[in-house]
């Protein structure tokens, strides 16, 4: 693609907004105990697009040199010269502005929390330079989505949404560990921090399993606190199956199916949980 906007959207994998957006919608439906207003839904979507676009574009800027040295990422837009650094900087600033405007349109608390949210989602890009817990920081960045959507609907941050944010944090951290298995040797050679580079492949996979088990427990707690019914809890079984499948196809000595495990399974899991949760709420209403 020669269009710099198109190149940038491909660079930040815009389509992967599907990972966090369903959890934001699940929180919004739960907070409203039904379908939120169209205005609220629109501004939640705008906020999600702005926040994620800013985070990913900033990450590509910060990691441009590292990406150029890594054979797996050297063909990305910035290292390959398909888009200029100045354009990505402008895109990042515009995305931040879009996020702030959306929060302003939602309510006062949402606007007040934007600096904290930006600190997390932008600060993540630096973490692998000094801590192996970078995966958890990425998880925290995505965990903001359901909490933010709850705030968007109610104007308050309540305990009832926290298990869902915890579930997203643990789920994201787990699949990010799986994905980072691809860069284990490169990270070690460059002094970068990750769970695989610190613990080795086998222990990293075990850690990811524990994180995903914790995510399922947090989803159960979210359902209990918010009095979901059979439809929501039934949806946890195929969700667990998708997590188990991920861990069955990603092995220390075989990472050939990592993209299927990372993108397909996790996107489907997020959509499945939203669909089951939303149906449960609407049926009860």
Per-residue model confidence as pLDDT tens digits over 34-85: 999 999 999 999 999 999 999 999 999 999 999 999 999 998 889 888 889 9
DSSP string for 181-220:
GGGHHHHHHHT---HHHHH-HHHHHHHHHHHHHHHHHHHH
Q: Please give the pLDDT value at position 2.
A: 55
pLDDT score of 210 more than 70: yes
Which structural domain range is residue 111 located in?
A: 4-284
Q: Which of 118, 116, 125 is nearest to 62 (CA)?
A: 125
Q: Is 191 left (phi over 0), alpha (psi -120 to 50) or beta?
A: left
CATH code at 39? Answer: 1.10.357.140
pLDDT score of 128 more than 70: yes
- Quote the Cα angle for 274-27-206, to 5°: 70
The b-or-e profile of 158-177 (16+ CB within 10 A means b, else e) is: eebbbbbbbbbbbbbbbbbb
Q: Looking at residues 171-191, what average pLDDT do you find?
A: 94
Q: Please give the pLDDT value at position 1.
A: 45
Report the alpha-carbon distance of residue 194 to residue 118 in Å, rounded: 22
Q: Looking at residues 261-282, what average pLDDT do you find?
A: 91
Q: Please give the pLDDT value at position 15.
A: 65
Q: Please give the pLDDT value at position 264.
A: 80
Count of structural domains within the chain: 1
pLDDT score of 214 more than 90: yes
């Amino acid at each position: 693609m020669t269009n710099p906007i198109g190149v940038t959207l491909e660079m930040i994998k815009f389509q992967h907004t599907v990972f966090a957006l369903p959890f934001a919608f699940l929180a919004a439906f739960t907070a409203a105990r039904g379908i939120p207003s169209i205005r609220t839904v629109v501004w939640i979507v705008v906020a999600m697009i702005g926040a994620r676009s800013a985070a990913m574009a900033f990450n590509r800027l910060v990691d441009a040199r590292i990406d150029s040295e890594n054979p797996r990422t050297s063909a990305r837009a910035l290292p390959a010269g398909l888009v200029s650094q100045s354009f990505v900087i402008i895109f990042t600033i515009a995305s931040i502005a879009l996020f702030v405007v959306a929060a302003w349109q939602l309510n006062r608390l949402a606007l007040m929390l934007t600096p904290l949210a930006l600190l997390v989602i932008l600060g993540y890009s630096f973490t692998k330079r000094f801590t192996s817990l970078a995966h958890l920081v990425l998880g925290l960045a995505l965990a903001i989505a359901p909490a933010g959507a709850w705030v968007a609907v109610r104007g308050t941050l309540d305990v009832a949404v926290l298990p869902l944010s915890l579930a997203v944090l643990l789920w994201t951290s787990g699949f990010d560990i799986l994905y980072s298995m691809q860069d284990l040797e490169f990270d070690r050679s460059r002094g970068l921090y990750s769970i695989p580079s610190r613990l080795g492949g086998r222990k990293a996979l075990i850690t990811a399993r524990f994180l995903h088990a914790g995510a399922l427990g947090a989803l159960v707690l979210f359902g209990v606190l918010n009095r979901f019914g059979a439809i929501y809890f039934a949806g946890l079984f195929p969700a667990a199956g998708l997590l188990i499948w991920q861990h069955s196809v990603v092995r220390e000595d075989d990472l050939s199916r990592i993209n299927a495990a990372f993108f397909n399974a996790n996107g489907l899991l997020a959509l499945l949980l939203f669909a089951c949760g939303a149906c449960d709420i609407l049926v009860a209403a």
